[in-house]
A = this chain, B = another copy of it.
């Protein structure tokens, strides 16, 4: 019997007909400003509130800044600091500048450095007993590894490690455009169990944010493009369909 992990975001759970199938590794892809980091954060926040240890692994901002920005955006989430303090919500990360400042800049050394990042993620997950993981963002790989082939191998190594850890993960990915009709997936995304996209739709005058589930292994899901807002009480997905 399949178990679903609630994202804590009611409307997104509805789009997923329950939640993310346990053990899935999900890409959350979107253009700049779509709220990927906040959405991923909220997923962990609700998990932590339910007592499930959750790890946020920041690769593009300092961990402190992630917490700060989340508190600024979600002013109604009063207990973020408390969850961090009692180690239900673990915010860790790597300093991107350090990662990239290694002695050499060859792809092989970058792969070695990224191998260490994967190791660190593993250590944090094992030490904390986390069941939910967010990695923000995969696009850092773009900055570390120039060869597309080496890039795919590194991404594969990461997914493989997360599968073995048995966690249910969301990995954010930057898209070069905020608009849907220009979206093009990297072929290597196919190794992930799910793909959710966040983008701006609408005309020039007024953009609106919307979300769409492209793929989710192990369950049916909505095919409806669903608008959402970033509110002080969390991501508000305005789903037109009922929850199953």
Interface residues of A (CB under 8 A from B): 2, 21, 31-33, 60-61, 68-69, 72-73, 96-97, 100, 105, 137, 139, 142-143, 146-150, 152-153, 156-157, 160, 174, 176-178, 180-191, 195, 200-201, 204-210, 212-220, 223-225, 230
Contacts and interface: CB of A to CB of B under 8 A. Distances in A.
* Chain A interface helix/strand/loop/mixed: mixed
B33 A214 contact: yes
A32 B190 contact: yes
A121 B73 CA distance: 32
Given A143-B156, A214-B178, A208 B223 contact: yes
Given A33-B214, A72-B218, A190-B139, A180 B204 contact: yes
Given A33-B214, A96-B156, A142-B152, 18 more contacts: A2-B72, A32-B185, A32-B189, A32-B190, A32-B195, A60-B191, A68-B218, A72-B219, A73-B220, A96-B160, A96-B191, A105-B149, A142-B187, A177-B185, A178-B185, A201-B204, A205-B224, A207-B224
Q: Which 7 residue pairs across A and B have the least CB separation, nearest first?
A: A33-B215, A146-B149, A32-B215, A207-B223, A174-B190, A97-B160, A33-B214
A195 to B, nearest CB: 5
Nearest to A62: B163
Nearest to A188: B143
Contacts of A60: 190-191
B143 A153 contact: yes
Contacts of A180: 204
Nearest to A205: B225
A202 to B, nearest CB: 8
A31 B143 contact: no
